[in-house]
Amino acid sequence: MVERLQQAGYQAFLVGGCVRDLLLDITPKDFDVATSATPEQVRATFRNARLIGRRFKLVHVHFGREIIEVATFRANHEAEASEEQSRQSESGRLLRDNVYGTFEQDAQRRDFTINALYFDVTSGQIHDFANGVHDIRNRLIRLIGQPEQRYQEDPVRMLRAVRFAAKLNFDIEQHTAAPIESMAPLLHDIPAARLFDESLKLLMSGQGLATFDLLYQYDLVAPLFPDTDDAILERPDYTLQLVRQALRNTDERIAQDKPVTPAFLFAALLWPALPGRVKYLEEQGIPAIPAYQQAAHELLAEQCRHTAIPKRFSIPMREIWDMQPRLERRSGRRADQMLEHPRFRAAYDFLLLREAAGEETDGLGQWWTQYQDANPEQRRQMIRELGDGSKSSGKRARSRPRRNKPRKPQSN
C-alpha cells in the first residue's frame, strides 16, 4: 500500500506505534500510514477506501478483514487557518485538526517521541525527527512540545501517556508527567463516548492492573470513574482490593486467550459505590429491593455521563448486580433456578471476587461452590440444612467512616 502511494507520486511511510513495536521486537497489531496525499487523493488511489472523521480527517483502506489507517501529514495551526481546517475550544482543546503540512512538520504534530518514527519500506530507512529511538532505548514516554499546551490540545494524551507506560513498561518522563494531576479535570470536556473507548484501551488490553495503578497515581481515576474514586476515599482497602483483583483476573484471562467482557470489569469498578447509595435510600424509607434497584439505576446513569457504557454492557452489569442478593435466597427450588440462569456463572464469579476483597458473606461463595459439585441428593440435603436462615444469609459490605485518600500504589 505504501508502495502504491509512492508510485502515484506521493510521499508515504509506515508511522507511529507499528514502527515503535518493530524496534521493540513486538508484533504490531495494526499498521498506520502517513502520506503527503490528501484524504481525497488517497480515496482516489484506492477503490476500497473510506473517509472518516471531521475533527481529524482520516482514510480507512480495507484489505480483506484488515483496515489500514492513512493520515495526511499535519502542520502546526496558523492564525489564518479556516475553521474547516482548524478550530480550538476556549480551554485550548483542538476541535478540528486538518491543517496539512510537510513530512517534517507532521513529526512535530505527533504526541510522543516514540510515536514520531517514519519507516520507508522502499529504502528500509527510519526517519526520526524527535529523538524517538533514543527514548525507546531509555524506556521513556516523552511528549513532543510543551506538555501543558499539548494536554490542552487533547487531554486524552494524559491517558495515552499512562497507557503506553503500562503497556511498554516505560517511565513517563518528568516534564511530561508533572502537569498531569493538575490538568486531569480537562478530561471532563471530552465526549463520554470517546472516554468509554479509551477506558477499554486502558483496562482491557492485558495490562489493566498496571494501567489502573498509574491512573490512580496521577489522579486520573476521578474523571473516568468518579464514584469509584469516592469509594476509594471512603473504603480504600476493600475498594482497591476488589478493583485490583478484578483487573488482575482480566489480565490473566487475556494472557491465556480467554474471553473477557467489559460488563464484568465495569460491574466490579462501580460495585463499591453501590452499598452506600442503597443505605441512603433505605434511610429515606424506601424498601430494600426498590432501594437496591434505584441505587443501581442511578449509579449507572451517572457513570454514563462520564463514560458512555453501551447497553450491551450496562444490561449485563445490572444483571450481575441484581443477582448478588438473589444468590442469598436459596430455599426450595430457588438454588436450582439460579443455576439455570444464563448469568449465573458471571454472578457466581462476582460473588467470589467480593469475598476475595474481604466482603463478609457468611460463606456464601463456598456454599455455591459445593452446590454446583453436589449430586441431586446432596443438593436436597444442603437446602434442608439451610432452614429458615437462607433468606437472610450473606451480608453486604459495611460502610466505614470516611478516610483520607490512601497512599497511591507505586507503579512498576
Q: Which of 30, 197, 237, 362 is catalytic?
A: 30
Please classify residue 283 by burial: count the beta carbons closer than 10 Å to its beta carbon, then call 0-12 exposed, 13-18 middle and 19+ buried.
exposed
Max CA separation in the chain (angstroms) = 82
Q: How far apart are CA 187 and CA 185, in angstroms?
A: 5
DSSP conformation class of 112: B
Q: Which of 97, 106, 111, 154 is catalytic?
A: 111
Q: At what angle do helices 262-270 and 344-356 cross, to 10 degrees?
A: 40
Grid look-up 488490553 returns 205
Q: How far apart are CA 304 and CA 193, in angstroms?
A: 9
3-state helix, strand, coil in the chain (%, to 5): 55, 10, 35
Look up residue 297 and give its three cell numbers.
Answer: 439505576
Taking Cα atoms as reference points, which of 51, 33, 153 lies closest to residue 93?
153
Q: How many CA atoms lie within 13 A of 186 on its CB side?
A: 24
Strands of 89-129 (E only): list them.
94-97, 117-120, 125-128
Q: Which of 21, 32, 227, 229 is catalytic?
A: 32
30 is catalytic: yes
32 is catalytic: yes
3-state class of 121 per DSSP?
A: coil
Q: How far apart are CA 270 and CA 259, in angstroms?
A: 21
Residue 338: count of CB within 10 angstroms of its CB = 19
Pairing assessment for the beta strands 140-141 and 171-172 based on DSSP bridges: parallel
Q: CA 110: distance to chain centroid?
A: 22
Residue 90: count of CB within 10 angstroms of its CB = 6
3-state class of 359 per DSSP?
A: coil
257 is catalytic: no
3-state secondary structure 129-194: CCCHHHHHHCCEECECCCHHHHHHHCCHHHHHHHHHHHHHCCEECHHHHCCHHHHHHHHHHCCHHH
Q: CA 347: distance to chain centroid?
A: 22
> What are the residue numbers of the active site?
30, 32, 111
